[in-house]
Amino acid sequence: MSLPTNPVASVTSMDTKNKGFSLVELVITIAIMSIALLGVAFSLQFSADRSADPLIQSKTVELVQAYSEEILTKRFDELTPVGGVPACTSCTAAVSFGADSETRGGGVNTFDDVDDYHGIDEVPVDAQGNTRSEYQGYRVQIAVSYAGTALGLASDQYAKEITITVTPPTQEPLEFSVYRGNF
């Protein structure tokens, strides 16, 4: 085995060949990394834009549930006796739906039957009529109509459809329907 005549010179020449990047390699690496980071930044921006959607949707569903629970606890009709028996046979005409002489708002809610809620277009309030500050920017609209035959019943006056439309801030309106039977 023979040793190189100048060991220091051979080590130095080997290190010089394997060390560092050329300027061309460095520029290509920077360009590739820029493109990759740009893609990641766009995907993060898209997910950030959509991150509020589930919160808005869950708040909307909670609001609809609160309204529907409140409405469904009321009598079917002004002429329905407390307890619902016997069922109303000569119910209020659909053209007369809406709050009769009852009020809703400012801490007062004297609505006593389902069709009193017809025509509501308001910022969200609780069952007592107090504004719900956690729903700032939301809008609630309610329409009530007879719908017994749509459910396969013998008469339209056997059921009412309550349509609750909620418009979240900066979103399209979402419509939900519940039914209240004549009992």
Q: pLDDT tens digits for 88-145? A: 888 888 888 988 888 887 888 889 899 999 999 999 999 888 999 999 999 999 999 9
User: 115 near 144, Cβ under 8 Å?
Assistant: yes
Q: Which two tokens stand for residue 151?
A: 């459910």
Q: In this structure, are residues 120 and 103 in contact, taking their beta carbons and an 8 Å threshold? A: no
pLDDT digits over 18-77, tens only? 677 788 888 999 999 999 998 888 877 776 666 667 888 889 999 999 999 999 999 999
> Which pTM was predicted?
0.70
* Structural domain boundaries in the chain: 7-50, 53-181
